[in-house]
Structure 1
Amino acid sequence: MKKIYNILLLSVVTIATLNGCKQGLQDETYSVFDASKLSKPENGNQAVIGTYAALKDNGGYGYYAGFLYWLYEYPADVVTTTITSRQGIELDQLTYNPSNSVINAVWVSIFKMISRANEAEALVNSIDYKANGATDQLKQQHLGEVRFLRALAYYDATSLWGDVPLILKASADFTPADLNPPLATQADVETAIINDLTFATQNLPTSYSATEIARATSGAAHALLARLYLRQGEWQKAADECQSVISTGAYRLKPQSEGGLKAMFDTTNRSDKEFIFVLKSSNQPGAYGINSNSFGINSTPWDLNRGYGNFPIHLQFYSIFDKTDDRRQLLTGLYHTLYGQVMSVPVEYGGVGGTAPDTVLATYVYNLKYPAANNYNYAGFNNVTILRYADVLLSRAEALNELNGPTEEAANLVSQVRTRSGLSTVSPGDYTKSTFRDLIFEERNKEFFMEGRRREDLLRWGKSASGGTDVLLKFREKVVPLLRNAATYDANINYALYPYPQNEIQSNTSLSATINQGRYK
């Protein structure tokens, strides 16, 4: 943290300018806060764009372009890892520690975005938009965008670590104490998140032009608020925020007539009404270091399309899909390898099987949500979904069930997601509150695999199923049987929270190693 803010004191405002379609985002750094250079509404817009750029933290593996999903997916029960990925193995097998480089990388990325948001907020506030030919409405929109992004960063930070430093001001206003910020309670940070998102709901537009699809809308702010309220168990508030998104009429599920979920993830699908908020990627030459993601190369194995295969998926996950479920098409059930063989899921896991030498039985399956056919580089070109409409529908169904048990409305919301993938509707009369909760979480598992939702879902599911007494109930039930060594799990460790990075503890004098007690072996 201290290192980040020392950098910021030397480079107070980092903004990104759009330099033509072919150049993408390009950073420009100003060494001083010079109002004569940064006094126009376009400067405010540039600061906002610079904050968005922090979502990918230089592309490739940065933040939402890759590493965040290592923390959200590996410790859960769908994705595992290869034996060649040491950092991934630590996360996957629950042996992670404060020195894990991915944990540190995500921490740094999150606080970079918070820093940029704080700097952008101060800059926008200093600009007289009306006197420079713009409107106060645009100024409030720009403030809403950076406050949404700050809220998203703090949402991730609290999801992963709980208590974290809370910094809501620009570096120009720092005191010496701010260079070594103490931990704020998760409750206090969540209050700040709610304040930012409430402001964003009131000042962001409901939509933008297709070329600006990746900018935050009021619907995105409502959807993120709903996600936070679900985590808190504030069921009525969560249901209401979801309804606010639904009532806009701005979003819809991508229907089967347009290719359904598979088509939504296609690299050519740059703008879609199911997208609420995305990390926008690029198919331009050299995009890896500017505006891309690493999912394509990591999601698939070498023998399929020369991928790294860092996100293998357990065969047990493939087996839970009905054969008529279109979502199963987003997994490698059967494919021809680069070596002329057929790779097939064994019959006992729902595949068609086969015999040697022409057929090899798969030991894992791989997800096809992030295609990169024959693309041996790091650049993933399709948008990465951060918030999408199906999540809002299932979140409202979950909240309504926790309030009143299975209802017609809740069943209809779940049915919308199921029928889009070719499955039957569900009837509330066939379920109890408990079994309908289980149905919702299993549907979420099939719908959102490799979208960074499973770890949180397991924790929330455990909390609800245990009446708030055991957040790790479902985590143990689903994850431990898949560990290579069940003894890896330690009942004395709180796997709901990650250890704080060792680099942060060493550089921030407000922290000590004792803050990691009970977070790792």
Structure 2
Amino acid sequence: MKKYNSQRISIFFALGLLFLTTSCTDFLKEEVYTQYDPNTFLQDQAGIDALLNGAYSRTTITGYDMRDFYMILNEFPTDITRETGGGLNAQVVPIMQFTWDPSMNFFKGRYNRFYSAIAKINGVILVAESVDDEEIQNKIYAEARFLRAMSYYSLHNLFGPTPIIEIPAGASVDEIEKIGQETPRATEEAYRKYVEDDLLFSIEHLAIEGPSSRATKGSALALLAKFYLNTKQWDKAATTAQEVLNLNYYNLYEDYTTLFALAGEGNNEFIYRFECQVGGGSPQSNNIMAHTLPPNYPAPSNWSNYGADFKTYTAFYDTFEENDVRRSLFLTEYTPKNSTEVVPLVRDAAGNPLNNLMSFKYTPDPDAIGESHGNDVPYIRLADIILTRAEALNELNGPTQESIDLINEIRLRAKASTIQLGDFATKESLRDFILTERAREFYTEGLRREDLIRHGQFIQQALDRGIVNAKPFHVLYPLPQDQIDNNPNLEQNEGYN
């Protein structure tokens, strides 16, 4: 039996708090996970869930985490969404104008959040090391390593390779305390292998069936396919996406208009999602609608309507065919309270674009309390995996009938016209279509920035919108300045020194 060292685990949790402070020595209160023998309290599912629940909680992207990660950092600098009004505007203008810098709290907040999750997850793994039952141990490892890979995946999306935090076997207390203060960034090669290894282990040991709010074989495969796609490992992306499809466990939800509503919850298109609820003081809620309702919108009294407005560009709206049901989830006009005058949001009377459409994709929860709506937040959907395989196949082979058929699965569900192989003479033409199709399918889901970067269009599209400050190095955000100041071995991303 492995020795259970509670002091070492306690110190490890304190290590995670290094990323939450501006000082290397000012520790917050240490978090002691348990003082019980793991072989006693991990013998049933309740004990395993108790151990893992904290890790799941730290990796959940809901509430203001969702707003910051999905919208501010991953849609506001793109051609889909902008923000006006409210106290938030001054904070996000640098994001929309490509004038951000390492001191911004949005970068610090995301970096801290994901490393806090990694510290919690590594602590779970340390506890599980002391479990004698290999089956129970592997189950814990598999879920924990999926969550760890998801955290590193998100960090890579924003910043590129970041430090990989591990506790060496037999490390002393002093050595443990230095980890995080002196760890350099991993190389791209090492980072890719680390994420891949975590997910391959999870795939081997997770079950196919299970709720989409917990790690399963399908969610680990899907995340790996996405990681391969975004790192342009086309062959691996195509193969792994097909493995997800071969599970025959997921289905496209028939009605896109209710996919993101409470009526669509529990659907089998969500491969991995974050559960949201209202009431009970839960922070796990969806607050996008509070930022999306236009001024004086005739909403029920139980809904909040913030001064900060998330608006959709008219040019993006124009990419939809008229019969495309995904188009119907935009508010295009409304009559304000105490008024009889209809306010247009698409174009003015002269036909000029207003860029004021509102995405009602997360159909408002009638029982919302203030800003908190109960709509679950998708992280990976089957539609994403279908288009992942279509894109990877096109990059490998150019336009093929299989890629066209995969794209048409998505378009048929949306009641859009189908496309034909003969419509695309080159790989480049189909690549451009897939990029636009992904925008139509995944708006308000925080995928546009990574898609544009992968296709090499992120900077050019910003320049085309008149964002003169956009530079090639902006494909990565800067590491938070306090991390650079506190870690002498941490190298800043190019362009931010």
What TM-score do the two structures reach when normalised by structure 1?
0.81
Deviates more, 1:181-190 or 1:369-378: 369-378
Q: What's the counterpart of residue 362 of structure 2?
A: 370
Report percent identity of matched pairs: 29
Q: Find the aligned partners of 1:50 and 1:437 in 2 and give their Cα distance.
A: 40
Aligned ranges 1:71-470 → 2 under 5 Å: 71-83=73-85, 84=87, 85-129=89-133, 136-169=134-167, 173=171, 175-180=176-181, 181-208=183-210, 212-255=211-254, 260-287=255-282, 289=283, 291-304=284-297, 305=299, 306-308=304-306, 309-340=308-339, 341-346=341-346, 362-372=354-364, 375=368, 377-432=370-425, 433-462=427-456
Q: Find the aligned partners of 1:354 and 1:371 in 2 and give their Cα distance.
A: 31
DSSP 3-state at the match of 2:379: strand
Q: Find the aligned partners of 1:98 and 1:8 in 2 and give their Cα distance.
A: 31
Structure 1 runs of 4+ off > 4 angstroms? 10-14, 170-174, 360-363, 373-376
Q: What's the counterpart of residue 488 of structure 2?
A: 509
Matching residue within 39, 47, 70 for 1:43 = 47
Contact 1:12 1:33 in 2 (8 A): no
Contact 1:10 1:31 in 2 (8 A): no
Q: Find the aligned partners of 2:70 and 2:259 in 1 and give their Cα distance.
A: 22
Q: Find the aligned partners of 2:453 and 2:224 in 1 and give their Cα distance.
A: 18
Label 1:338 to 1:508 Cα distance change in 2 as closer, same or farther (>3 A).
farther
Deviates more, 1:406-415 or 1:330-339: 330-339
Label 1:68 to 1:509 Cα distance change in 2 as closer, same or farther (>3 A).
farther
Q: Find the aligned partners of 2:15 and 2:263 in 1 and give their Cα distance.
A: 34
Q: Find the aligned partners of 1:168 and 1:294 in 2 and give their Cα distance.
A: 35
1:52-103 deviations in Å (ceiling 9; x for gaps): 101237x5313x4644542111111111111542221111111111111111
Q: Find the aligned partners of 1:38 and 1:303 in 2 and give their Cα distance.
A: 58
Letter in 1 for 2:409: Q
Contact 2:15 2:119 in 1 (8 A): no
Gaps of 5+ in 1: 1-5, 15-27, 130-135, 463-473
Contact 1:39 1:126 in 2 (8 A): no
Q: CA RMSD in A?
A: 2.9
Label 1:315 to 1:147 Cα distance change in 2 as closer, same or farther (>3 A).
same
Letter in 2 for 1:500: L
Q: Does 1:500 align with 2:475?
A: no
DSSP 3-state at the match of 1:102: helix
CA drift of 1:43 comes to 3.3
Contact 2:313 2:356 in 1 (8 A): yes
DSSP 3-state at the match of 1:229: helix
Q: Find the aligned partners of 2:30 and 2:11 in 1 and give their Cα distance.
A: 12
Letter in 1 for 2:469: T
1:301-325 deviations in Å (ceiling 9; x for gaps): 3333453244211121111111101
Letter in 2 for 1:165: P
Gaps of 5+ in 2: 1-7, 17-28
Q: What's the counterpart of residue 469 of structure 2?
A: 488
Q: Find the aligned partners of 1:217 and 1:65 in 2 and give their Cα distance.
A: 26
Higher relative contact order (CA 8 A, sep 6+): 2
1:19-49 deviations in Å (ceiling 9; x for gaps): xxxxxxxxx9853652347842243321211
Contact 1:95 1:488 in 2 (8 A): yes
Q: What's the counterpart of residue 476 of structure 1?
A: 459
Q: Find the aligned partners of 1:335 and 1:31 in 2 and give their Cα distance.
A: 53
Q: When the two structures are aligned, how many residues end up with a matched partner?
A: 460
Label 1:214 to 1:225 Cα distance change in 2 as closer, same or farther (>3 A).
same
Q: What's the counterpart of residue 4 of structure 2?
A: none
CA drift of 1:176 comes to 4.1
Q: Find the aligned partners of 2:206 and 2:336 in 1 and give their Cα distance.
A: 47
